[in-house]
């Protein structure tokens, strides 16, 4: 079984300092280490190694701890990772600066390992509770539209209803074209603004009360359309595509337009016992892939 214990990232330019902390925390936690800010940020940003807590040295050459903390706190995917500064700088001013940079705690060297362990344990349990609350919520924090959990619920309900009524249920899966390039070029703040604008336009374009949409992943949005066949879904998808074109959000790094565009995949089924909602999702995903392969900024379906 994979180890799912909380992951702690220890950042310090002096390997001996890392070793002391790592030895104290291993056993109870998984531990990753970095000896400079750039490596720490790379580890924190990779979704497969995202830490649950970071112990961060303040004084490091090139990028100091304040800057690392600032970068973590200004990136949506890393802003909720609690940071504890571990430092020899014991002045009130330093401590204040650390807490203002967004750290949850401040440990001054030389430290007692028992105290470090107790503080780490406290912040880890808070982190686990926060994560749980986020999963339980039904609204995506950034865009304000329903999240994936809400969508899964709605899809299952509509699936059952479609089966009872023997009515076609459709899905549109959409994805912002070249969004990674957008983020890299314009920065994460602009990336968030773009996601919000796209979510709002898509939301406003749905017109039947029974239609629902959700943010499905990073730059992926999905619509669930009851009582809709494939033709109807394709018409709706084309309206979604146009609504994003009309925003005219500049995108210098897109290979298909000078502005932000989306690709879309449609699928529809009459739900039955031989089929599952996952099959419908999978088909829509394959049609999204087809739209991308055919040049993006377009709608893909089994008819295209
Ligand atoms: Mg140092």
CATH of the domain at 99: 3.40.50.2300
Ligand 1 centre from 83 Cα, in Å? 16
Residues 171 and 118 in one domain: no
Number of domains in the chain: 2
Alpha-carbon span 60 to 63, nearest angstrom = 6
- pLDDT tens-digit profile of 123-147? 999 998 888 877 678 888 888 889 9
Residues 83 and 153 in one domain: no
Ligand 1 centre from 11 Cα, in Å? 9
Is 131 inside a domain boundary? Answer: yes
- pLDDT tens-digit profile of 245-269? 999 999 999 999 999 999 999 999 9
Q: What is the CATH number of the domain that holds 204?
A: 3.30.70.270
The predicted structure's pLDDT at residue 2? 65
280 and 158 Cβ atoms separated by less than 8 Å? no
The predicted structure's pLDDT at residue 57? 95
The predicted model scores a pTM of: 0.60
Ligand 1 centre from 57 Cα, in Å? 6
Helix 92-100, helix 65-73: angle, nearest 10: 20
Range of the domain at 205: 148-300
Residues 62 and 189 in one domain: no
Ligand 1 centre from 110 Cα, in Å? 13
Is 80 inside a domain boundary? Answer: yes
Residues 163 and 217 in one domain: yes
238 and 263 Cβ atoms separated by less than 8 Å? no
Is 141 inside a domain boundary? Answer: no
Q: Where is the domain boundary, 136, 156, 183?
A: 136
Is 142 inside a domain boundary? Answer: no
Residues 43 and 155 in one domain: no
Residues 181 and 265 in one domain: yes
Residues 123 and 221 in one domain: no
Q: Report the candidate in 210, 190, 214 with the shortest Cα–Cα distance to residue 76.
A: 190
Name the residues annotated as catalytic: 219
Residues 127 and 158 in one domain: no
Residues 279 and 162 in one domain: yes
Residues 11 and 39 in one domain: yes
Residue ranges in the chain modelled with pLDDT below 50: none
């Amino acid at each position: 079984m994979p180890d799912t214990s909380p992951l702690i990232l220890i950042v310090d330019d002096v390997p001996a300092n890392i070793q002391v902390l790592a030895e104290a925390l291993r056993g109870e936690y998984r531990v990753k280490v970095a000896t400079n800010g750039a490596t720490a940020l790379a580890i924190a940003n990779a979704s497969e190694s995202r830490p649950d807590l970071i112990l961060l040295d303040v004084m490091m050459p090139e990028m100091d701890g304040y800057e690392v903390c600032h970068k973590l706190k200004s990136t949506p995917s890393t802003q909720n990772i609690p940071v504890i500064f571990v430092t020899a700088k014991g002045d009130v001013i330093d401590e204040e600066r650390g807490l203002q940079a967004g750290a949850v705690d401040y440990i001054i060297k030389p430290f007692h390992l028992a105290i470090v362990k107790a503080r780490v344990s406290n912040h880890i349990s808070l982190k686990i509770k926060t994560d749980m609350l986020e999963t339980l919520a039904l609204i995506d924090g950034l865009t304000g539209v329903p999240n994936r959990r809400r969508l899964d619920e709605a899809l299952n309900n509509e699936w059952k209803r479609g089966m009872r009524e023997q009515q076609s249920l459709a899905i549109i899966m959409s994805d912002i074209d070249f969004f990674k390039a957008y983020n890299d070029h314009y920065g994460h703040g602009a990336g968030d603004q773009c996601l919000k604008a796209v979510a709002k336009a898509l939301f406003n374009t749905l017109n039947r009360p029974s239609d629902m949409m959700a943010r499905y992943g990073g730059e992926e949005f999905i619509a669930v359309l009851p009582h809709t066949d494939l033709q109807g879904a394709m018409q709706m998808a084309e309206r979604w595509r146009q609504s994003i074109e009309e925003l005219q959000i500049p995108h210098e790094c897109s290979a298909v337009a000078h502005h932000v565009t989306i690709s879309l995949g449609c699928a529809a089924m009459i739900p039955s016992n031989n089929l599952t909602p996952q099959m419908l999702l999978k088909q829509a995903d394959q049609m999204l892939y087809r739209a991308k392969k055919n040049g993006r900024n377009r709608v893909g379906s089994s008819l295209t």
